[in-house]
Amino acid sequence: MTSRHPPVENWATDFDHTDPAWAADPYPIWDELRRRCPVAHSDRYGGTWLPLTHELVSEVAYDTEHFTSRSVVVSDERPGPDDLPAPIGLSPPITSDPPFHAIARRMLLPAFTPKPIAALEPFTRDLCRDLLAGTEGRASFDAATEYAQHIPVRVIVRFLGFPEEDADLFRRFIRLVLEDVDLPAEEREERFAEQDAYMDAQIEEHIARPRDDLTSFLIEAEIGGSKLSREHVRGTMILLMIAGIDTTWSAIGASLWHLAQHPDDRHRLAREPELMDTAVEELLRAYAPVTMARLVAKDFDFHGHQLKEGDWLLLPFPSANRDPEVFDNPGVVQLDRARNRHAAFGLGRHRCLGSNLARMELRVALEEWLARYPDFELADPSAVTWSGGQVRGPRTLPVRVL
């Protein structure tokens, strides 16, 4: 992706997570900052902090007194204290703080436990096989746009009960929220209004014709005897759509990118299918797609740094996952890494709600891919592109079948 901001010259004092160098390969940047700082600061986006070690990232994730989740995507529109409805936020529960957070989250948790997720596995497997069948006979194709990206889109469409043909629209919404964070404010507002209007139309459609999906569930759900507000229903739908698609697409794509370049790992997975669960955790550790964000809730001293209320703070779980204090040889993917306390799904009360769904999709996507294409390579390593911003994964991934 191309940034609309000037290029970064000093990562410790002027970092920018939309910089093309960060998108292309953030690991050397993080490794250096982890050793040098380990809390970097940038004046960009109105002031942003970046802790790099596993210890500091954990500390922030557990600290809901000094950090608020009212906004979790860093952009140029830094919200003021009255701009977002605390403690609910725009997309509960990800943007909620205690005590409301627990109430909004509790309502959603049962739908994401292993049992209901396992029920989606046959659908996901069929979907992967269909997508692969579509590539049959071609020497090379794009594993990101022709395979990885479709899997979570179709699964979430089914979860929320949206029309399947709207998948392209979702990709536009996702880009708006996660990647176009440096667009002019008026343009973003216009597009957000479009997204809200789409969700409202879906809600009306579900009110008229209720069915067995998460949208109808949210419309009927109650907190303390009252139905949820329209804003709450819409905000949660947007959250599930965005958090459920871009992230998993990125994890599947990054894993295929790795396997394309490591024949030993491919062959080992073919030989030892029982290793898949451990391998999935290792790929999630090494290529964790999601960097979260917080707003500083009040002025305070954070390990010698003077944080001010309203400052942004990026929470780079992918950097925590590569901290040599916690992981041996963190830069090396070891598919049989048995002790792997990775934080790809975050830590603390905001642990990714969809982690079981994401794991299932990643495992099935890799199993089906390797069954069909046990040997493949990058068709053109220089043509691979990565998304910038807070969710990182390959957006173009040309592969050649061997």
Partner 1 sequence: MTAATFRVHVDPEKCQGHNRCYSISPELFDLDELGMSSEIGAGLVPADLITKARLAVANCPEHAISLTEETEPEE
Nearest to residue 88, comparing CAs of 80, 75, 79, 97? 97
State which of residues 258, 349, 372, 400 lies at the interface with partner 1 (CB under 8 A): 349
Q: Which residues pair with 396 in a beta bridge?
A: 385
Q: What backbone torsions phi and psi does residue 315 show, to the nearest 5 degrees?
A: -115, 90
> Among the candidate windows 69-77, 90-98, 297-305, 342-350, which touches partner 1 by CB under 8 A?
342-350
State which of residues 345, 369, 376, 386 lies at the interface with partner 1 (CB under 8 A): 345
**Which token pair is 223?**
């907190």
User: Any idea what DSSP says for residue 389?
Assistant: T
234, amino acid identity: R
> Among the candidate windows 129-137, 184-192, 266-274, 347-355, which touches partner 1 by CB under 8 A?
347-355
Q: Which residues pair with 49 in a beta bridge?
A: 41, 313
Is residue 383 within the footprint of partner 1 (CB under 8 A)? no
> Among the candidate windows 160-168, 221-229, 262-270, 337-345, which touches partner 1 by CB under 8 A?
337-345
Least distance from partner 1 to the Cβ atom of residue 285, Å:
10
DSSP string, 50-81: EE-SHHHHHHHHH-TTTEE-S--S--SSPPPT
The burial class, CB within 10 Å (0-12 / 13-18 / 19+), for 343 is buried
User: In Å, how far are 140, 192, 256, 367 from 373, measured between CA atoms?
Assistant: 11, 40, 11, 10
Q: How many residues bind partner 1 (CB under 8 A)?
A: 21
Is residue 334 within the footprint of partner 1 (CB under 8 A)? no
Contact between 46 and 312 (Cβ < 8 Å)? yes
Is residue 97 within the footprint of partner 1 (CB under 8 A)? no
> Beta-carbon neighbour count of residue 159 at 10 Å?
22
User: Any idea what DSSP says for residue 177?
Assistant: I
Least distance from partner 1 to the Cβ atom of residue 383, Å:
35
Is residue 360 within the footprint of partner 1 (CB under 8 A)? no
Spell out the alpha helix ranges (H) of 262-289. 263-271, 276-286
Least distance from partner 1 to the Cβ atom of residue 33, Å:
23
Q: Which residues pair with 398 in a beta bridge?
A: 142
Instruction: Tell me whether residue 342 or residue 395 sits nearer to partner 1 (CB atom).
Output: 342
**Which token pair is 253?**
């794509």
> Beta-carbon neighbour count of residue 231 at 10 Å?
15
> Beta-carbon neighbour count of residue 164 at 10 Å?
9
Is residue 277 within the footprint of partner 1 (CB under 8 A)? yes
User: Any idea what DSSP says for residue 134?
Assistant: T
Q: Which residues pair with 385 in a beta bridge?
A: 396
> Among the candidate windows 31-39, 111-119, 255-263, 286-294, which touches partner 1 by CB under 8 A?
111-119
State which of residues 348, 380, 383, 402 lies at the interface with partner 1 (CB under 8 A): 348
Is residue 322 within the footprint of partner 1 (CB under 8 A)? no
Binding mask 113-152 toward partner 1 (x if CB under 8 A, else -) reads: xx--------------------------------------
Nearest to residue 40, comparing CAs of 68, 65, 19, 62? 19
Is residue 233 within the footprint of partner 1 (CB under 8 A)? no
Is residue 109 within the footprint of partner 1 (CB under 8 A)? yes
Binding mask 280-309 toward partner 1 (x if CB under 8 A, else -) reads: -x----------------------------
Instruction: Tell me whether residue 21 or residue 276 sits nearer to partner 1 (CB atom).
Output: 276
**Which token pair is 95?**
């943007």
Least distance from partner 1 to the Cβ atom of residue 239, Å:
17
Instruction: Tell me whether residue 195 or residue 356 sits nearer to partner 1 (CB atom).
Output: 356
State which of residues 351, 380, 383, 402 lies at the interface with partner 1 (CB under 8 A): 351
Per CB under 8 A, residues contacting partner 1 are: 106, 109-110, 112-114, 277, 281, 338-343, 345, 347-349, 351, 355-356
